[in-house]
Amino acid sequence: MFLSLNKKFFLTIFAFFLLSAGIFTIIFNETIGKKISEEHSSIVSRNQYVIDILNENIMLRKKLNLLAPQKIRQIDGSLDEKQQQLSKERKLNEELNQNYNENYAALAENLKIISLGSILTLISLIILWFLLRRWVITPIDKLILLSVAVANGDFSKRLETKKHHFTDEFNTLMTTINFMLDNIENNINNIKEKEIFLQNLIDALPDAVRVIDDDYNIILSNKAYGEHIKKQYLFNKPKCYETYNKEASCPCSSAQYICPIKELKQKHAANLKLIHYVNNRPLSINSARVFLNGKQGIVESIRDLSENVHYSHQQKISSLGFLATSLAHEMKNNLGAINLILDGLLQKYYPDTATPSEKQKYLTLISQQIKECIKVPERLLKLSRDADRPDSNFNVASNISDILSLLDYEIKNKGITLVKNFSNLKENLCGNETDFKMIILNLVQNAINAMPNGGTLEIKTNTAKDKLIIDIKDTGCGISEKDLKHIFEPFYSTSAKNKKGTGLGLAIVKDLTSQFNAQITVSSHENQGSTFQIVFPRQKP
């Protein structure tokens, strides 16, 4: 229970006054009062004794009147003696009454003195209480009000200090506290200005930035990080692991995501680069160690690589378009002219087609091969059509065959056996035809590159209820278990040791399959080949 100093002082003074008055009353009653009571009892007993003698005297007089005269003289002597004793007793009684009256008057004077002393003591205590209130309680009340305001975050209030000729410890304390609050307020304003500057500085960065302490708390972030949250790449949660999965209750395990805080602690490294897939988005994570209030934390820079993948895809499409256009102008026209010349030679010198000669057969074979060559730039042109055109229905088997025809030379040149197994040649999909071709092209090229010394490439399509399944299987070098979980990350290439590939092919495939609402999976063993399976939602007839 809270009891103010004001009440404490008042109750203490009042209790002290009551205790003093009680003790004084008890002492007075035990000394002077008891003595007066004894004297009063003595006087009463003496008065009673005198009254008894007087009564005896009266009885004797009555008896004397009845006695003979001769005996009166005998009794006069004893009577005189009795009268003398009676007079002495009267004098003594008068003296006792006078002493009692004097003692009673003294008692009244003592009571007056005691009352006056009590009043003066009470006045002294009230004056003392007033001075304590003014010099001690009032300054303490001001300090309490100021401390409450400071505890609530208000550093603008100050203690009112007046100039006095005489100062005490409280005046010095108030002046010191005001000076201390001035310094604290200035420091807080400087800190706020620096925080605003720092926030503006990190808000100007294009990448998402967040600062995480040793307890996995996000203590600072920028606007780009807020944009990631709005786009639902990340969740708006106080813990860093909750931003990946809002239902998570503990830090990420190594099976989910590599935790930069744990990695930097274990490896004692200054920085770390990772790629995390969050909500089907490849995010590049660059982490660096910092120290926050004596504890270790990290600064994370997050970049969405989906835009880079999309840009790379568009760049490939643009390059194919430029290549196809160049081939069309450089090859198609020249090959077309050669084909016209061959047709003219055949019509002029070998008009008989019923019984062709050996030369005519060779020229006809050359003409057919030239016509096949003319189809190559046409396929490139078809592949490089505008990728942003509206979705359309296209035939799956026909598009896969176009891609295989485009890569036919490379397949044969490496001694690869091609196996095609299409369950339904009339199966159609709805979407961007160019994106579908790019998916098949990347996967087939990866399979060809995995079999530099030849092998078997099998492409199979199958249907199951509402799904269209495409399997691309090779008997190449395969993918190690360590690399398997990273192959769809942008800029991660298993052929980096041979300085081949950019690491974007499978990332583009992953992005394009998601645009078809399809799923891609891979199974592979080292030196035993790989199988990529894409499951498309089947088009309703």
In this predicted structure, what is the pLDDT of residue 475? 92
Structure tokens at 257: 């995501």
Q: Is 473 helix (H, G, I), strand (E, B) or coil?
A: strand
Q: Give pLDDT, residue 317.
A: 56
Question: What was the pLDDT predicted at 459?
Answer: 94
Measured distance CA(520)–CA(513) in Å, rounded: 7
457 phi and psi angles, rounded to 5 deg: -115, 120
pLDDT value at position 470? 94
CATH of domain 392-541: 3.30.565.10
- Beta partners for 537? 467
Give the residue among 447, 445, 433 at the shortest CA–CA distance from 399.
Answer: 433
Q: Give the separation between CA 139 and CA 116, rounded to whole angstroms.
A: 34
Give the CA count within 13 Å in the CB-facing half-sphere of 42.
13
The pLDDT score that the predictor gives to residue 499 is 43
Q: What is the domain partition of the chain in residue ranges?
A: 5-151, 166-197, 205-304, 306-384, 392-541
> Token pair for residue 338?
């050669």
Round to whole Å and give the CA distance between 306 and 277.
11
C-alpha dist (Å) from residue 476 to 165, 365, 369, 529: 100, 35, 31, 4
Sheet containing 208-212: which strands, arranged edge to edge? 218-221, 208-212, 295-304, 281-292, 271-278
Q: Are 506 and 444 in contact (CB under 8 A)?
A: no
Tell me if the domain spanning 306-384 has CATH number 1.10.260: no
What integer pLDDT is reported at residue 72 of this predicted model?
56
Q: Distance between CA 482 and CA 492 in Å, rounded?
A: 12
Q: How far apart are CA 507 and CA 35, in angstroms?
A: 116
For 521-540, letters b (16+ CB in 10 Å) and e give: ebebeeeebbbbbbbbebee
Q: Whole-prediction pTM value?
A: 0.43
Q: Tell me, yes or no, if the two domains 306-384 and 392-541 fold the same way.
A: no
Residues 220 and 211 sit within 8 Å (Cβ to Cβ) = yes
Label the pairing between strands 455-464 and 416-422.
parallel
Q: CA 111 to CA 105: how far, in whole Å?
A: 10
Q: Residue 368 and residue 354: Cα distance in Å, rounded?
A: 18
Q: Is the dihedral of CA 168, 172, 175, 180 positive or negative?
A: negative
Name residues of the chain where pLDDT drops below 70.
Answer: 1-9, 28-40, 44, 46, 50, 64-65, 67-86, 88-90, 92-93, 95-108, 110, 164-166, 255, 306-332, 353, 372, 375-390, 490-504, 540-541
Q: Per the CATH hierarchy, to which homologous superfamily does domain 205-304 belong? A: PAS domain (3.30.450.20)
- The pLDDT, as a whole number, for residue 117 is 74
Closest CA to 143 of 181, 198, 102, 97: 181
Going through 28-145 in order, the beta strands assigned E by DSSP cover none
**257: enclosing H helix or E strand:** none
User: Which 3 state secondary structure label does DSSP give 396?
Assistant: helix
Q: Give the helix/strand (H/E) hosting 197.
A: helix 169-203
Amino acid identity for residue 372 in this structure: E
Distances (CA, A) of 36 to 4, 31, 97: 47, 9, 12
